[in-house]
Amino acid sequence: MNGKVVAIISGKGGVGKTTTAANLGIALATLGQKVVCIDTDIGLRNLDVVLGLENRIVYDLVDVVEGRCRLTQAMVRDRRYENLHLIPAAQTRDKSAVSASDMVRLCEELRSMADWIVIDSPAGIERGFRNAIAPADQVLVITNPEVSSLRDADRIIGLVEAEEKGPAQLIINRINPEMVKRGDMLSISDVIELLAIPLIGIVPEDETVLISTNSGQPVVLNEKSKAGLAFLNIGKRLLGEEVPWVSLNVKAGLLSRLGQLFSGET
């Protein structure tokens, strides 16, 4: 096995990195892939609770790096999917406990055990972010269609390029088709024009994301959820499948709505 390492980054906090990492991990697992998710947000652990695995943690990332346990001991197995594992972040330490070369070494070992290693990066552009992209083969940048998140995404895309990890691929999260139609939200084509990197996912704003996360059942498990379907499609695209863009239509015709969402024009 020669697993691929995907880092999920955003620059700004709160745009949906952890939600994306959790749902992408499960999406890939449902598609028959062996997946290991790693939470690199040391001190602000969250991927465990979004995945619904918070009660099963014994060891964490720092325990592995500092040699207190074997790698496999820190891998929490998901009961729903036996081919999905989580390496949680340490909660009582800080980012300096792990270095970029630790991450590269750890991922080298994981590549022989999994098809995909999904890294949830902390916000910011400091050490935690560097740790997340150091071992990455592919980098996914999450942004929301609003000014501060886009500005930070642009900055972090530049840093990924400087580290020769580019081109990063873009996930536009929490797009609201009604607002785009009214001209009160940047459209998908606006965002692509500004950031100028290839698109790999469009996730609509969707209440079911929060509802699912409340119960520790990521939304991708909900077949009726539009956001869930969008995450599943990102998983398929990572596997090289060509998936048509999800229609986010509410009332009007499918094609016209999708067109509006892309262009923002009515």
Partner 1 sequence: MTSFIGRILKKPPSSALQAKERLHLVLVHDRTDLSSEDLKKLKDRLIQAISDFVEIDADETEIQIQVEGREQTLIANIPLRSPRRRRK
**Residues within the interface to partner 1 (CB under 8 A):** 146-147, 150-151, 154-155, 157-158, 161, 180, 182-187, 190, 193-194, 196-197, 264-265
Decide whether 54 or 146 has the Cβ nearer to partner 1: 146
Q: Distance (Å, rounded) from C-alpha 201 to C-alpha 88?
A: 25
CB 106 within 8 A of CB 135: yes
Decide whether 42 or 188 has the Cβ nearer to partner 1: 188
> Min. distance of Cβ 179 from partner 1 in angstroms?
8
Q: In angstroms, what is the C-alpha Rg of the chain?
A: 18
Q: Distance (Å, rounded) from C-alpha 205 to C-alpha 55?
A: 29
Owner of token pair 């969008």 = 230
> Min. distance of Cβ 6 from partner 1 in angstroms?
21
Cα–chain center distance at 14: 12
Decide whether 142 or 150 has the Cβ nearer to partner 1: 150
> Min. distance of Cβ 182 from partner 1 in angstroms?
8
Decide whether 150 or 229 has the Cβ nearer to partner 1: 150
Distances (CA, A) of 98 to 64, 181, 209: 10, 45, 31
> Min. distance of Cβ 149 from partner 1 in angstroms?
11
By C-alpha distance, which of 213, 194, 46, 201 is closest to 128? 46
